[in-house]
Amino acid sequence: MKPHAPRHCLAACLLALFTVGPAFAHDTWFEAKSHKQPGRLLMALGTGNQFPELEFPMDLRYLTQHGCQQDGKPMALQGVAMAAKSLLLMTQAPGAGPVTCWAQSIPFELEMAADKVAIYFDEINPPQATRDRWAAMAARGLAWRERYVKNARIEFAGAATDQAQTPLPSGMGLDVLMLSGLQAARSGDALQFQVLRDGQPLADFAVELRGTSPGPGLWLRTDAQGSVRTPAPAPGRWLLRGTDLRIATDNPDQWDSRFITLAFEVK
């Protein structure tokens, strides 16, 4: 793939070189980090070929928005340091309840070899209409050109595990809410997520639930309300991921995509 610099920021091409890479559907996600200060939540934000291995950091300069909330109240999410494979961030939670944090990147542009598109599709599971549209474009000899935005969330259960709070939308272009609550999820619990695009439920959208063990994840598809339901998986770290891919509104020969991840832990 050959990344192109966004029109508004030539320097972003450097980040695109790291966030695209040879795996075609790199995700960007949060990872909770250990800490010793009470109320302090430390996390890493980075990009990788496949969860849970982060490979490249996401520079704070390339985030259009980032923040956290507790009890529906906003909290600042501040950059701490740039590590080799991730950006370290932190927030200070005033209470012991659950906390949710998020970040959205600026748009980047890339060009991908046509013979790699099938691998990309295997990783994001787009609908048949998208596959058919690309087949028609490829038959015309068009190259794959895509403008993409990364969106990421993370849930911290907090010390007060009995508080089943529902997170509020963040304002990201593609978002996912844990409707079943931000309390600590335990194996076998009923989990419910809702995907929002521009604040509205995104129906018939494919999301994959991935754990830290190798192997394929569990693919789910949202209902008319943009929701999916599944029993909580085995204890450990999990990632819900999805990619909304569609033809760009300003160019019928280019694609727009929005990536979303939601990191959480099952006790």
Token digits of residue 173: 């272009």
Residue bearing tokens 């280019």:
254
Residue 264 bridge partners (DSSP): 238
Which residue has better confidence, 21 or 105? 105
Residue 207 tokens read as 């999301």
Q: How confident is the model at residue 161 (pLDDT cuts 50, 70, 90)?
A: low
SS3 labels along the chain: CEEECCCCCCCHHHHHHHHCCCCCCCEEEEEEECCCCCCEEEEEEEEECCCCCCCEECCHHHEEEEEEEECCEEECCEEEEECCCCEEEEEECCCCCCEEEEEEECCEEEEECHHHHHHHHHHHCCCHHHHHHHHHHHHCCCCEEEEEEEEEEEEECCCCCCCCCCCCCCCCCEEEEECCCCCCECCCCEEEEEEEECCEECCCCEEEEEECCCCCCEEEECCCCCEEEEECCCCEEEEEEEEEEEEECCEEEEEEEEEEEEEEEEC
Interval 228-263: pLDDT, tens: 999 999 999 999 999 999 999 999 999 999 999 999
Q: How many CB atoms are located within 10 Å of the residue 40 CB?
A: 11
Question: How much is the pLDDT for 21?
Answer: 38
Residue 69 · residue 14 · CB < 8 Å: no
Q: Note the pLDDT of residue 216.
A: 85
In tens, the pLDDT along 209-230 reads: 999 998 889 999 999 999 999 9
- Looking at residues 101-106, what average pLDDT do you find? 98
Which is more confidently placed, 154 or 159?
A: 154
% of the chain beyond a pLDDT of 70: 87
Least confident of 4-13, 64-73, 95-104, 176-185: 4-13
